Structure 1
């Protein structure tokens, strides 16, 4: 696996992004406002989703590598009152951080990404949790009218986590083989190869072979586009744009 953020940095950034999420929620005039990037949810629904999800992952990590699937949130349920809700959300983050810190980065853990290039470890869970929390922080900020770019250090790791964890698979690509590049203006690039063998990814140091399609933007712009928070037209796309349409519609069998 390519170099990633160090484990202590992942935990620190999870805490920081979680605090930013709570700050966005605290600034909302009404928790019933709709979340533009998750239009079926109110801001309260988003808070409940984030808190329940962190409690669920905390329980899953704490249970060890032999659990057959992700465990449900052990509760308590998200309260309605705003101050109590903020405290419940902060406790959800603490439970996740405590569980991951206690387990350590190398211990095995159940994950949904078994066919990807990311390891099934607590460190990989922490890495992906940082991205989920960061993208939902953007969602919450947007709901109150002030969507902020992801911090560059988070977003750079986020593009890499996406191509290794979400995109990479052994499920057969059902179209003609293709090469896809992602270029962050901060100076890092990645390549994804799509074929009958699935999708394989690597950080790109330089290549004499041109990609069939590429996307270029800040790391934050790329992450938000990859997670469907912004259209691909928000970044500079060169080459066969149909490949991105096919890639985002692809649901590989593994």
Structure 2
């Protein structure tokens, strides 16, 4: 199985070799991605559920626990009440959510509800540590 980043690193190494490169260049350093599910997904904080609502229509829930992280599309708009309520939620257009995920706009640009500390923890979380 090849990690998606391996192809990008090989491409970047070839570009870095310049116009005189005669063949595809090999990337330098360790390019192996962690193979253990826990190394990729372990959540180091209290278990939580975070909902993401796209104003254009769909919603997703991200469950976080020491067993890992998993996400699924919600079949219907979630409510903020009941035992199935998320600990936090973010609402915005699809574009706003993606830009916030990549740190291109502040999270405060979204409508945030619930435990805002979860969003800070998500921003700081590096699953490969």
TM-score (norm 1): 0.37
**Structure 2 match to 1:233:** 108
1:180 to 2:55 alignment: no
Label 1:228 to 1:176 Cα distance change in 2 as closer, same or farther (>3 A). same
Q: Are the equivalent residues in 1 in contact too, given 2:42–2:66 (CA < 8 A)?
A: yes
Query: How far apart are 1:112 and its partner, in Å?
Result: 5.2
Relative distance call for 1:112 and 1:203 in structure 2 (3 A) is farther
Tell me, which stretches of 5 or more residues in structure 1 are unaligned? Answer: 1-63, 79-109, 117-168
Consecutive unaligned residues of structure 2, counting only runs of 5 or more, are 20-30
1:215 aligns with 2:85: no
Instruction: Please state whether the residue corresponding to 2:6 is helix, strand or coil.
Output: coil
Pair 230,174 (structure 1): closer, same or farther in 2 beyond 3 Å: same
Match of 2:27 in 1: none
Post-superposition CA distance 1:34-62 (Å, at most 9, x none): xxxxxxxxxxxxxxxxxxxxxxxxxxxxx
Aligned: 1:224 with 2:99? yes
After TM superposition, give the deviation of residue 115 of structure 1 in Å.
Answer: 6.5
Question: 2 CA distance for matches of 1:236 and 1:250?
Answer: 21
Considering only aligned residues, what root-mean-square deviation do their CA atoms show, in Å?
3.3
Structure 1 residue 72: deviation in Å? 4.0
Distance 2:58 2:111 in 1: 15
The 3-state SS of whatever aligns with 2:96 is helix
Distance 1:113 1:204 in 2: 29
TM score, norm. by length of structure 2? 0.69
For the residue of structure 2 that corresponds to 1:183, the secondary structure is: strand
Larger strand proportion of the pair: 2
C-alpha distance in 1, partners of 2:45/2:91? 23
Task: Quote the residue 1:204 is aligned against.
Answer: 74
